[in-house]
Amino acid sequence: MINNWVIIKQKSVKGIVEYSVSNDVAGKRTFSHDFKTLSEAKECLKSMEFLDARKKSSERLRESMI
């Protein structure tokens, strides 16, 4: 399954701003990575999108071989 990765800005219970890279919006997400800075979250987002693109490409290749 290919995810719809997004960055969500939120505040912790201590009032600290945090960023989550999640596979969907709040309420629909099943997986997330938490970061203290937006730049770290953006780096993770790029990695997750790259991995999903590779997975999608592999799935297409596998289907064409059937």
> Dihedral (C-alpha) 23, 28, 32, 35: value to the nearest 10 degrees?
100
Mean pLDDT taken over the chain? 86
In a domain, 49, yes or no: yes
In a domain, 1, yes or no: no
In a domain, 30, yes or no: yes
Model pTM score? 0.72
The pLDDT confidence band at residue 26, using thresholds 50, 70 and 90, is low
At residue 40's C-alpha, the angle toward residues 38 and 43, to 5°, is: 110
In a domain, 52, yes or no: yes
Tell me the pLDDT tens digit for each residue of 35-66: 999 999 999 999 988 888 888 888 888 888 87
pLDDT at 2 over 70: no
In a domain, 16, yes or no: yes
Residue range of the domain that includes 55: 6-64
In a domain, 20, yes or no: yes
Number of domains in the chain: 1
pLDDT at 54: 85
In a domain, 19, yes or no: yes
In a domain, 45, yes or no: yes
